[in-house]
């Protein structure tokens, strides 16, 4: 069965960096675009970034552009989010999600919590 498992979250000070991972299994990872979405405590969902199935194209929200980098290793079936210059407002649960042109957005991981605080 399809599984997406995020890891790498934790507490970090403002200005520091953190890398999140999303381990995929149960499907052909290299066939799917992958997204990161976040949700601040008690708030709504915010789209963060996407990477194409072959890694050739990426897009970011304005709030993270220039600070976050999405990447993937199709040989390891893993998606990454490198987060730099972290701010208090980056505190959120971060989810990865799978998407295809045929059936968009049909699987999500359970999320990993990132807390940015001094």
Partner 1 sequence: DIQMTQSPSSLSASVGDRVTITCRASQGISNNLVWFQQKPGQAPKSLIYAASSLQSGVPSRFSGSGSGTDFTLTITSLQPEDFATYYCLQYYDYPSSFGQGTRLEIK
Where on the chain is the footprint of partner 1 (CB under 8 A)?
Answer: 35, 37, 44-47, 50, 59-62, 95, 99, 103-111
CB of 14 or CB of 52, closer to partner 1: 52
Minimum distance from residue 85 beta carbon to partner 1 (Å) = 19
CB of 33 to partner 1, least distance (A): 10
Min. distance of Cβ 66 from partner 1 in angstroms? 14
What region does 28 belong to: left with phi over 0, alpha with psi -120 to 50, or beta? beta
Structural contact between residues 22 and 78, judged by C-beta atoms closer than 8 angstroms: yes
Q: Nearer to partner 1 by C-beta: 41 or 118?
A: 41
- Give me the half-sphere count of Cα atoms (radius 13 Å) on the Cβ side of residue 64: 26
Provide the sign of the torsion angle of the four alpha carbons 61, 93, 95, 23, taken in this order.
positive
112-116 and 10-12: which strand pairing?
parallel
19 vs 65, which CB is nearer to partner 1? 65
* Shortest Å distance, C-beta 113 to partner 1: 11
| Of 15 and 26, CB closest to partner 1 | 26
| Secondary structure (3-state) at 31 | helix
């Amino acid at each position: 069965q399809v599984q997406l498992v995020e890891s790498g979250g934790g507490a970090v000070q403002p200005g520091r960096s953190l890398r999140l991972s999303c381990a995929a299994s149960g499907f052909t990872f290299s066939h799917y675009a992958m997204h990161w979405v976040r949700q601040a405590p008690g708030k709504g969902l915010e789209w963060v970034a996407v990477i194409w199935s072959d890694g050739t194209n990426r897009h970011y929200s304005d709030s993270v552009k220039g600070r976050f980098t999405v990447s993937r290793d199709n040989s390891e079936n893993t998606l990454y989010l490198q987060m730099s210059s972290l701010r208090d407002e980056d505190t959120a649960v971060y989810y990865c999600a799978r998407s295809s042109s045929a059936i968009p957005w049909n699987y999500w991981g359970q999320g990993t919590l990132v807390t940015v605080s001094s």
